[in-house]
Chains A and B, each alone.
Chain A
Amino acid sequence: MDAELIAMQLFSGVALGAIMIMVALGLSIIFGMLGVVNFAHGALFMVGAYAGLWIASLTGSFWWGLLIAPLAVGALGMLIERVLIRPLYKRSVDDPLLLTFGLGYVLVEAVRILFGSDGIPFPTPPQLAGVADLGIGFFPIYRLFVVGVVALTLLLLWLGLEKTKFGLIVRAGAKDPQIMRVLGVDIATVWLLVFGLGVALTALGGVLAAPMRNVNPEMGSLVLAEAFVVTVIGGMGSLVGAVVAGLLVGVAISMTALFAPEMATIVMFALMALVLLVRPQGLFGKPTRA
């Protein structure tokens, strides 16, 4: 087992974790702010991929799909929050969970009716096709691009949350929405925007994943399971946790793929079980939620 192969394997893990981070971030932001466990998150990832494909086929360009689809699906997310989820806030926490669970099925069926249940090809954009020599081995240029986009998105998100007034409100709102209301902040609008942001992130993940995996109506279900694992490991509601856990899970999968490939899917669940035993709130989670 040479060092180059292990280095390549580590890098593959990071690249694999990048997509998981995009999905888990959205899940975590929505849970952290709204307290809603969004079971439609995987389906919205899939809707993002189809929206990207659809826009790319209309405009003839992947880039428009990459840009517009997350915004459009994010807008759909805001609509979902406003019309379907908002009336449920006053009720038990199970209600939004059940609603989004059902909504996930509706979205998958809707896509099946509109685009068929077979997969549809989503070619790698020609500018990003081919492989790059990393010195330790070859890696698809497109996957490098994905890592770059995810890193850029994380940077923008961090700047937005740490350096803007809106970010301050979001952070404060996550701690105590009651006080924010007393201070005269329109928390309902903040929640609307946060839900839209979370959905836009997963939709971006979907568009980014499409040229690697093609699109099909069921592509979100596995992704949702991965995202939950990442969120639980990182700590529900923690953004740093989602990033660290995403990388951790990606690397754990790729290292397992090297030494015990048939265990590559199981390992993330084993990791989750381990973290839950040792630190039930997750790596970066708060011990108890108010």
Chain B
Amino acid sequence: MTSQGTYSITRRSALAGLAAGSAALAMPALVRAQGESIRIGFPTPLTGPFAAEAKDQVKSAELAVKLVNDKGGIAGRKVELLVRDDKLNAGEAATRTLELIEKDKVHAVVGALSSAVQLAVNEVTRARGVIYVSISQSDTINEVKDFSRFTFHEALNPHMTTAAVAKHTFKPGSKIAYLVADYAYGHEMLRGFKRAQAAIGATSVGEILHPFGAADYSTFMPQLRAMRPDILCICNFGRDQANAIKQAVDFGMNRQSKIVVPVLLHNQRLAVGPEAFEGVVGGANYYWGLEDTIPSAKAFNDAFKAANGGAYPTDYGAYGFTGVSSLLLAMAAAGGPDTDKVVAALEKLQYDVAKGPQHYRACDHQSVQSVLVLESKKKAEMKNEADLFKILAIEPAAESILRTCSELGFPA
């Protein structure tokens, strides 16, 4: 080992860890402020394999709340964010959400970071008639059987994400091998990719479902290699993505195939380093590099950096900001947290808080927004530590990139 920087725990990351640790400790101690505050429940998996993304969601959501409170709150009332750890477990999330609604009397819920957990939260909010802004990818939440007029889906959905990524990576005749996490998110991403693959004229040479939360992927590699794919499409999330990509590269898969993922995660790229991720292509809802062309991205980045000691906002973190911001904008337009008025305001809302214009589609309440296609940079191309990705393409916000309302089962 020659270069000193290769194994590095910087003082800053240790400090950031300290700060995050103490924030997590302080969280349960947050006492409810005045009775008249507007309370927003925020269940997210602060512990477990998606913890890095969840923490960023909290930071960004807190920023959205702070910006509104700095300007006097909503109709003179302060906004309060009640963060709860759902432990990436559907049962835990349902219990925490019920508590938030029954005990803490929240006016709305934003959050969740796993498609399965999000559906559990949605069950509870739907039954109680509480607004829920979901910030985790899901296709089923758009469909008529899971729809509720109280539910708004701020995150991208797998259909639009995979269509955008496939458009810029699959070619007619491409041979594609899939390594897929065996749960709702992986299944939905696989379904999306296969639909796009059929439209493009590419073929699948094999699909392997792996157990969710696996640490070792070596046992899948010989098979994937034997499939001789042009593209290895890895459909998993969080630490699973980091480990799967790293081990695929250890096995030399990147020499015979291009590695493609549905969402390219900022935090996982940081956790693995540039070498393993080099050339990996994937989708995203947000990347801070948008600030070169989009003024609201610049404003969000600056506010986030000012509030978090210079740290850059991340993809799933940005959902915390756009999700909470859209809800607060609607509450402001409705003059308070009255559920029916806020639902009506959300349906009418046109917002641009971080990534250009967005709005919720009338039939399924899916946020119509742009999809970014990113490529992970070589170490030599990085201008600074946060300069991780190159923006290959931006699919503009348009209802045409969503499944039609009638396909989802809504009456025409």
Contact assessment for A12 and B9 in the assembled complex, using a CB-CB cutoff below 8 Å: no
Known: A113-B18, A258-B223. A214 touches B272 (CB 8 A): yes
Which of A70-78, A83-91, A115-123, A191-199 lies on the face that meets chain B? A115-123
| Chain A stretch 233-272: residues in CB contact (< 8 A) with chain B | 253-254, 257-258, 261-266
Mask for A100-141, Cβ within 8 A of B = 1, else 0?
A: 000000000100111111111111111000110000011110
Contact assessment for B214 and A123 in the assembled complex, using a CB-CB cutoff below 8 Å: no
How many chain B residues sit at the interface, stated as a range, is 35 or more
Which of B141-149, B245-253, B322-330 lies on the face that meets chain A? B245-253
Kindly list chain B residues whose C-beta atoms are within 8 Å of the C-beta of A95.
Answer: none
Contact assessment for A143 and B218 in the assembled complex, using a CB-CB cutoff below 8 Å: yes
Q: Is B1 an interface residue (CB 8 A)?
A: yes
How far is it, in angstroms, between the C-alpha of A65 and the C-alpha of B250 when the chains are bound?
21
Contact assessment for B250 and A124 in the assembled complex, using a CB-CB cutoff below 8 Å: yes
Q: Which residue of B lies closest to A53 (CB)?
A: B7
Mask for A57-74, Cβ within 8 A of B = 1, else 0?
A: 100111101000000000
Q: Is B219 an interface residue (CB 8 A)?
A: yes
Q: Is A216 an interface residue (CB 8 A)?
A: yes
**Distance in Å from the Cβ of A209 to the closest Cβ of chain B?**
8
Contact assessment for B216 and A212 in the assembled complex, using a CB-CB cutoff below 8 Å: yes
**Distance in Å from the Cβ of B352 to the closest Cβ of chain A?**
30
How far is it, in angstroms, between the C-alpha of A138 and the C-alpha of B252 when the chains are bound?
8
Query: Which residue of A61, A112, A222, A261 is within 8 Å of B208 (Cβ)?
Result: A261
Kindly list chain A residues whose C-beta atoms are within 8 Å of the C-beta of B7.
Answer: 53, 56-57, 60, 62, 65, 122-123
How far is it, in angstroms, between the C-alpha of A5 and the C-alpha of B226 when the chains are bound?
8
Most buried by B among A57, A121, A258: A121
How many chain A residues sit at the interface, stated as a range, is 35 or more
Contact assessment for A114 and B17 in the assembled complex, using a CB-CB cutoff below 8 Å: yes
Most buried by B among A123, A126, A257: A257
Query: Which residue of A15, A119, A138 is within 8 Å of B271 (Cβ)?
Result: A119
Q: Which residue of B lies closest to A216 (CB)?
A: B239
How far is it, in angstroms, between the C-alpha of A118 and the C-alpha of B54 when the chains are bound?
11
How far is it, in angstroms, between the C-alpha of A123 and the C-alpha of B379 when the chains are bound?
13
**Distance in Å from the Cβ of A75 to the closest Cβ of chain B?**
21
**Distance in Å from the Cβ of B127 to the closest Cβ of chain A?**
31
Mask for B189-215, Cβ within 8 A of A = 1, else 0?
A: 000000000000000000011110111
Known: A113-B17, A137-B222, A143-B250. A16 touches B216 (CB 8 A): yes
Q: Is B336 an interface residue (CB 8 A)?
A: no
Is the contact region of chain B dominated by helix, strand, or loop, or is it mixed?
helix
Known: A9-B222, A120-B13, A254-B219. A216 touches B251 (CB 8 A): no
Kindly list chain B residues whose C-beta atoms are within 8 Å of the C-beta of A5.
Answer: 222-223, 226
Query: Which residue of B3, B220, B225 is within 8 Å of A261 (Cβ)?
Result: B220
Contact assessment for B211 and A262 in the assembled complex, using a CB-CB cutoff below 8 Å: yes
Q: Is A203 an interface residue (CB 8 A)?
A: no
Known: A125-B1, A131-B251. A115 touches B13 (CB 8 A): yes
Contact assessment for B52 and A117 in the assembled complex, using a CB-CB cutoff below 8 Å: yes
Q: Is B134 an interface residue (CB 8 A)?
A: no
**Distance in Å from the Cβ of B189 to the closest Cβ of chain A?**
15
Contact assessment for A117 and B20 in the assembled complex, using a CB-CB cutoff below 8 Å: yes
Q: Which residue of B lies closest to A118 (CB)?
A: B52
Kindly list chain B residues whose C-beta atoms are within 8 Å of the C-beta of A117.
Answer: 17, 20-21, 24, 51-52, 55
Q: Is A23 an interface residue (CB 8 A)?
A: no
How far is it, in angstroms, between the C-alpha of A125 and the C-alpha of B246 when the chains are bound?
14
Kindly list chain B residues whose C-beta atoms are within 8 Å of the C-beta of A266.
Answer: 211
Kindly list chain A residues whose C-beta atoms are within 8 Å of the C-beta of B216.
Answer: 16, 212-213
Kindly list chain A residues whose C-beta atoms are within 8 Å of the C-beta of B221.
Answer: 12
Q: Which residue of B lies closest to A62 (CB)?
A: B1
Q: Is B270 an interface residue (CB 8 A)?
A: yes
How far is it, in angstroms, between the C-alpha of A222 and the C-alpha of B49 when the chains are bound?
12
- Counting from the closest, the 5 A-B pairs by CB-CB distance are A116-B17, A119-B271, A121-B273, A257-B219, A8-B222
Q: Spell out B's residues near A (CB within 8 Å).
A: 1-4, 6-9, 13-14, 16-18, 20-22, 24, 47-49, 51-52, 55, 182, 208-211, 213-216, 218-223, 225-226, 239, 242-243, 246-247, 250-252, 267-268, 270-273, 275
Q: Give me 24 A-to-B residue pairs in the complex whose CB atoms sit less than 8 angstroms apart, sorted by A's number.
A: A9-B219, A9-B222, A54-B9, A60-B2, A60-B6, A63-B1, A109-B21, A112-B21, A113-B22, A118-B51, A120-B13, A123-B6, A123-B7, A123-B273, A137-B225, A138-B252, A143-B218, A214-B246, A253-B219, A257-B223, A261-B208, A262-B182, A262-B210, A262-B211
Q: Spell out A's residues near B (CB within 8 Å).
A: 2, 5, 8-9, 12-13, 15-16, 53-54, 56-57, 60-63, 65, 109, 112-126, 130-131, 137-140, 142-143, 212-214, 216, 218-219, 222-223, 253-254, 257-258, 261-266
